[in-house]
Structure 1
Amino acid sequence: MTIRYPNGKPYAAPAQTTRSAPVEYGGRGMTLEEELNQSNQYYRQAQKAVVYKKPTPLQIVKVDYPSRAQAVVREAYFKTPSTTDYNGVYQGRYLDFDAKETKNKQSFPLKNFHPHQVAHFNACLAQGGICFVVIRFVTSGRLFVYPASDLNRFWTAAQRGERKSIPLSELEQHGFELHPQLQPLIPYLDGVDWLIQTKRGTQNG
């Protein structure tokens, strides 16, 4: 099936979205997205938070009908550019976050983000939302919650011609490292609690 952006260009899956390294517990072989989806299901069932992956609206333009009971979509377009992956509510606070993976060992490339995603984060931050990125280094399996306000700091610097990536040392210093477990697979609410306590989940960081 061919999926295209609103400008007509074919969609290609981001290079950083790969099958992740196995984790110690039940998430063996899962992508980061799959693990977060299971974690969100656990949080909802435990009544800790209500968070879902955002649906991506598609405009279907070509469908084949190999039989009366079966339809196969052959071509579709994204109706609008995607913003971030997840949003929801936790303890009366609005959450908005994205999930990214990289094969790089010592830095996270900013090219994995798009300008409209950073603009969306900034708009949510301006309304008092808690915004962040869940970043996984595939080779080492290390996971971080990283504030969107700090992402914006590096993004802005990159627009001025400075470095085009976030070093691992920055994530270690200004992010919150997560440790996969049985339930939930990715306990990212621990990172959200840290954002709230340190006020790093605010517009000014």
Structure 2
Amino acid sequence: MAIKYPNGKIYRPEKRYNENRTKKDYSFSNRGKTLEDEINETNEYYLQQGIAVIHKKPVPIQVVKVEYPSRSAAVIKEAYYRTASTTDFNGIWQGIHVDFEAKETKNKTSFPLKNIHEHQISHMWQVTEQQGLSFLIVRFSLINRYFILPFLPLITAWNEMSKGGRKSIPFESFEQHAFEIVPGAFPPIDYLQGVTRMLSENSAEQ
């Protein structure tokens, strides 16, 4: 099935990596799962425990071509995105609007900013302006390390790239400015613990 953006360009999904982990293998239960799988399971845990209500956003598409190989089956052959996507997940936690994008990279030394789109940065800026909480969850898949990157260092790196600077965020910046999440079993990645640390640090700086 070909899915296209509103401008007619064909959407090509990002590759998701499920490489064997050789370092810092915190949990056997997470093997073979994508970051999106882990977040969805974590969100279900949060919902069941009454901790937060956070879901993956549905992507609105316009179906333009359907084939019927049999009477009981329909196959979508061509569709278009009605609007450009914003971020992957949003919801409410302790009265705070939470809105974030989840990305995986096979790169060990940096996170390529080409994985983020300008309209997503604009959306995250708008959420931040309205006192919402916006951030990235990044998984460095080959070394099995997870980070919450606040919006401020993300927009700083984005602006630097826009001025002709570096087109990626060094791994060292994640260790300095992001909040690491240690994967577990229940839930798979308790990212709200990282968000709690992020809010605590922000309060201490004010």
Q: Aligned to 1:136, which of 121, 139, 154?
A: 139
Report Cα offsets for 1:153-176 as digits up to 9, x if no partner.
100011111111101111001100
Secondary structure of the 2:85 match is coil
- Corresponding residue for 1:18? 17
- Corresponding residue for 2:4? 4
Displacement of 1:21 in angstroms is 4.5
Cα distance in 2 for residues equivalent to 1:132 and 1:57: 23
The total of aligned residue pairs comes to 201
Cα distance in 2 for residues equivalent to 1:21 and 1:146: 24
Cα distance in 2 for residues equivalent to 1:130 and 1:21: 33
Q: Aligned to 2:112, which of 96, 109, 113?
A: 109
Secondary structure of the 1:199 match is helix
Secondary structure of the 2:28 match is coil
Report Cα offsets for 1:2-31 as digits up to 9, x if no partner.
11111111110124x323555523222000
Partner letter of residue 5 of structure 1? Y
8 Å Cα contact 1:4-1:76 kept in structure 2: yes
Give the gaps of 5 or more residues in structure 1.
Answer: none
Q: Return the TM-score normalized by structure 1.
A: 0.94
Partner letter of residue 174 of structure 2? L
Partner letter of residue 7 of structure 2? N
Runs (4+) off by over 3 Å = 20-23
Q: Aligned to 1:49, which of 52, 76, 79?
A: 52
Q: State the Cα RMSD in Å.
A: 1.6
Partner letter of residue 32 of structure 2? G
Cα distance in 2 for residues equivalent to 1:190 and 1:135: 15
- Corresponding residue for 2:157? 154
Q: Return the TM-score normalized by structure 2.
A: 0.93
How high is the sequence identity, in percent, across the aligned residues? 47
In the TM superposition, 1:42-81 aligns within 5 A as: 42-81=45-84
8 Å Cα contact 1:25-1:185 kept in structure 2: no
Partner letter of residue 173 of structure 1? Q
Cα distance in 1 for residues equivalent to 2:159 and 2:132: 20
